[in-house]
Structure 1
Amino acid sequence: MGWLKLSIFSWLGVMGVTLFAGAQWITCTLLITGITALAIMDHNNRGYWRKLGITTADNSLPIFGHFLAALDTKKLPWEFLHSNYERYKELNYFGSYFFWSPNLIVTNPEVVKNITIKDFDHFVDRRTFKIEGKYKYGNDMLTNAEGSHWKGIRAALSPTFSSGKMKNMFPLVMEKADALMNKLHKITGNAETIVDMKNCFGRLSVDVIATCAFGFESNCIEDETAEFEKKLAKASNEDAKMFLEFIVVSFLPTKVKDYFEIGMFARWNYFKDLLLHTIEQRRNSKLKRGDFVDLLLEAQAAQAEPGSTKHDMTEDTMIASSVIFLLAGYDTVLSTLVIASHMIAQHPETQEKLRQELFEIVDENGKFNYQQIMEAKYLEALILETQRMYPVGSILERKCTKEYLLPGTNIKLEKNRMVQIPVYSLHNDERYWKEPNKFNPDRFLPENKGDIVQGAFLPFGLGPRNCIAMRFAQMELKITIARLVQEFQLSLAPGREEIGIKKGPTMRPMDTMPLILTPVSCAEE
């Protein structure tokens, strides 16, 4: 019996070793085969631009392409692209790889104009993400919609952002700017005081969005515990945690994301519910505020008229339009306000020139009005120069939607290839801007605008897919800067002579921006 057990155990042992060895052999074979297949695929994919005769940026790694180099923690995100731009800018374009996906980087303003305007029908789309489940309203965002779907939404929303509609919103924005000035006077009293302008501008941006987009008073300027401000700041956050969340969540099934309410759009649930509540209230009342909710309801009503062929203004479209208005209206305006105020403090002669222009407007009209603010030449020039040096969106993307013959060549760009336009690099290229590192608003004065090369200045994009809310953003920027410089002398705080830009996908200043504010009445004594 012992012999039998020994024989059985010995046989099982031999079989186990054999199977284990076989499993190892199979595993090794599969691993080697997989690696070989990946290597062949990688070589073929990363040879895409070479086969077309287009120069490729150096340091492309197997599988990752240029992705890891762009993530270099020692550099800001656009600096990697800018270094390659400087190297290849004499070419019209060069190639790069996002993992295995080939991207064409455009370096010539003429080619930029072709892609965004002249040959727009070949580049209608941007990089998009298909969204399923309870957050599918994200497909109706102008930044995420494609083809005829995008065109229909854009046509339906365009009247909402006309100059006439913006004029009606002017008093709402001015009221919030006045509220901020009152708050700043309380803080400063009659003496120079260091104030965190990023905090103040953030609260102003929240109050403007709350009143213009949602039709209610968030009172964030006065109430520093306001829930709306905390929710919006969190939803707009672009830190590493958000990026990791996006990567992880993208692999989860839609039902799982919906059940646990996770994903890139879950953070907007609070605002979605608030908007739906506001829309319902507005429909059941005759109250008209001239805000974004009213404009969306007017656009929806217009489609019910006989003969209307516009895109159906569905509930999803209204939600998506409001969310993107929140996202873009809060973060981009806030960042530009912070940087512009720092530039004003850093250049006293510019500040005095601007203040003189503003005082002349007030002397003529007694107070600021829409037309005078929007036509103030030096005010506009200062904001545009800020956006040139520090574009919030440092890269534009367009997707090739049908085969495209690159102008002046025999090179055909395949459908679905991504084209990237390095905004920061074009804005800081000495070929198009004399002394690009110098802050010089004069270059945007009417008499000098003829020197600006179209396609080399893209703060709001270019062509049919430019920022639809450009007028609103510029109006808010102009009102706020005008009222601030009218009321206060701005000076740099000790130790904060430099702006300081955070690491992240967009141009964002550091979490605090201290400036010395002195009431103008005190500064003149």
Structure 2
Amino acid sequence: MLLALLEGLLQLGGGSPGAGACSTTTIVLLVLTALLGGLVAYTQLSRTRRLVSLLPAMPALPLIGSVPWFELDDARFFVQFVGLVQQFGSVFTIWLGPIPIAVLTAPESVEAVLRGSHHIEKSFIYWFLTPWLGRGLLTSGGDKWRTRRRMLTPAFHFDILRGMVEVFREQAEVLIGVLDASADTKKPIDVFPLVSLCALDSICETAMGKKLHALKQSESTYVQAVFRISELIHHRQKFPWNWPDFIYSWLPDGRDHTRVLAELHNFTDSVIAERRVFLNDNPDVTDEQADSSKKRRLAFLDLLISARDEDGNHLSNMDIREEVDTFMFEGHDTTAAALAWSLHLIGSHPDVQARIHEELDRVLGSEPSPSFEQLKAHELPYLEMTLKEALRLFPSVPAISRVLDQDIDVCGYKIPAGLTVGLIPYAVHRDPKHWPDPEAFNPDRFLPENSANRHPYAYIPFSAGPRNCIGQRFAEFEERVVMASILKRFRIVSTQTRDQLAPLGEIILRPRDGVWVTLERR
């Protein structure tokens, strides 16, 4: 059959010396190259399957993988997944449809993936974010990611964060006003939606320079669209029959996805247009020589509009929308989840709360929240340790996924290049080798003397390595401001046990039934 194929190609190329010889030789070389490439690809695929077959694995069927064994309820699915970690240990495989994913939970394995610049490509799991976020900093790879990372790093400089902290303080005061209505009533309230709306207000103003007033207008179409898109993306990721666009577009969720995307993109596009007009009328806002009073409310969007790439070109509206939407996505739900879990844990541990109250009263005096200078100087160390410990137990991002650029050796196994790996911070943060009594809530774990010899990749709530979260300092400052503002005014009492929280391991780790507390004015 191969000889017949070559004979046909020779005839197509002329089959005789002279004018046709060059084209004939070219075709033969192309065929041989294709055959060699196919042989290499087949060999690599066989090698990959052989190495994957050596890993402990969840049961799987052809094409549909492990999906028939998945719990449909998201809370039960998360419990199931945690059980797999306990069953298989630090390395195992699940098949998401036809795609194998090697799950790694040991800090040493995490380091092998995140350290250095080899494995920076995100996996197919992130493809489902691209209809909303495009190919922005979160979803892009290669040269585009490197270029965008360099461009955007200055947006998180301390000079810019100073103005953002003022936004955090103002929005925290709005939240305090809402919470105060329930204080001293002994009636439990769910604080999760409230801190979510507060975080959305903060991110909208710092990212776009636009006041959303979500806490007061929670039924607005944009607010509802932000909440809905995350649900839709998570459910699409989980079930392979939702992956093909031509199928998904006909399903009810797919039609809702299209509607919600239109709401989100229209809002961002309109804000970009408004800010361009504003910056044209106020050109000194982004001038490097402008005094600090003119720059104190510089929004992330303003920096994008004025930024230039390495060739001196401005970003297009589409480029800007990608990064603004990415910032909105990454900077809203993650912070809200961190605050909600922290409130539950602090409200469940009166001794920890008393130490925070003492620290806040001593450091802040009559001030309602910390200033930028106090945050920068780490003047609230116990509050910082408490929030870190909350993120250890309940990391906002429960899973990180990459594609291996080269083989790695971890925990006695060889994980082959090209394979998708899932890193699970929730499990990494519970490794008893690095975290004695891992389920206990103990902020003192983060005292300098207790952290000194800990593995550097045993704690990864913001990922790690060159592709870590670019907005880590932004998130940490916002969490500290909001939490300090709440605890300066109130004493929190949790009305749920930890077993009642039912975490949902979606894109963000969120509580299924909310976080319920009572508030007492101090």
Structure 2 residue ranges without an equivalent (≥5): 1-43, 286-293
Conservation of the 8 A alpha-carbon contact between 1:167 and 1:370: yes
Match of 2:225 in 1: 231
Structure 1 residue ranges without an equivalent (≥5): 1-43, 521-525
Match of 1:197 in 2: 191
Structure 1 residue 177 corresponds to structure 2 residue 182: no
CA distance in structure 2 between the aligned counterparts of 1:177 and 1:435, rounded to whole angstroms = 34
After the TM superposition, which residues 412-423 of structure 1 pair with which residues of structure 2 at under 5 Å, given as runs? 413-414=416-417, 416-423=418-425
After the TM superposition, which residues 191-340 of structure 1 pair with which residues of structure 2 at under 5 Å, given as runs? 192-238=186-232, 248=242, 250-252=244-246, 262=258, 265-266=261-262, 268-286=264-282, 288=285, 294-303=299-308, 308-309=310-311, 313-340=315-342
Change (3 A) 1:262 1:436: same
CA distance in structure 2 between the aligned counterparts of 1:260 and 1:74, rounded to whole angstroms = 20
Provide, for residues 46-72 of structure 1, a one-character-per-residue CA deviation record: whole Å limited to 9, x for no partner: 995545673231423333332333445
TM-score in terms of structure 1 length: 0.77
Change (3 A) 1:367 1:273: closer
Superposed CA RMSD in Å reads 3.7
Conservation of the 8 A alpha-carbon contact between 2:504 and 2:512: yes
Three-state SS of the structure 2 residue aligned to 1:340 is helix
**CA apart distance, 1:84:** 3.2
Three-state SS of the structure 1 residue aligned to 2:197 is helix
Tell me whether 222-231 or 59-68 shows the greater mean CA deviation: 222-231
Conservation of the 8 A alpha-carbon contact between 1:54 and 1:95: no
Change (3 A) 1:291 1:201: farther
CA distance in structure 1 between the aligned counterparts of 2:198 and 2:270, rounded to whole angstroms = 19
CA distance in structure 2 between the aligned counterparts of 1:75 and 1:194, rounded to whole angstroms = 22
Give 2:466's aligned amino acid: P
Match of 1:55 in 2: 55
CA distance in structure 2 between the aligned counterparts of 1:244 and 1:407, rounded to whole angstroms = 27
How many pairs were matched up? 465
**CA apart distance, 1:385:** 0.9
Conservation of the 8 A alpha-carbon contact between 2:403 and 2:420: yes
Match of 2:354 in 1: 352
TM-score in terms of structure 2 length: 0.78
Change (3 A) 1:157 1:458: same
Change (3 A) 1:222 1:106: closer
Provide, for residues 281-313 of structure 1, a one-character-per-residue CA deviation record: whole Å limited to 9, x for no partner: 323321847589744433553527xxx458863
Provide, for residues 193-237 of structure 1, a one-character-per-residue CA deviation record: whole Å limited to 9, x for no partner: 433312321221122122212212222333454444333333333
Aligned residue among 100, 110, 113 for 1:112: 110
Three-state SS of the structure 1 residue aligned to 2:491 is strand
Structure 1 residue 101 corresponds to structure 2 residue 136: no
Percent of residue pairs identical: 20
CA distance in structure 2 between the aligned counterparts of 1:353 and 1:274, rounded to whole angstroms = 46
Give 1:213's aligned amino acid: A
Change (3 A) 1:137 1:502: closer
Provide, for residues 325-380 of structure 1, a one-character-per-residue CA deviation record: whole Å limited to 9, x for no partner: 11122211111111111111110110000111111111398962113235121111
Give 1:197's aligned amino acid: V
Change (3 A) 1:68 1:388: farther
Change (3 A) 1:206 1:365: closer
Give 2:156's aligned amino acid: F
CA distance in structure 1 between the aligned counterparts of 2:502 and 2:487, rounded to whole angstroms = 22
Match of 2:150 in 1: 155
Match of 2:407 in 1: 404
Match of 1:379 in 2: 383
Provide, for residues 386-407 of structure 1, a one-character-per-residue CA deviation record: whole Å limited to 9, x for no partner: 1111112211111123x33537
Give 2:517's aligned amino acid: L
CA distance in structure 2 between the aligned counterparts of 1:449 and 1:136, rounded to whole angstroms = 41
Conservation of the 8 A alpha-carbon contact between 1:489 and 1:518: yes
Provide, for residues 93-145 of structure 1, a one-character-per-residue CA deviation record: whole Å limited to 9, x for no partner: 34443233232222432232122113x32x1201148989xx87844222210
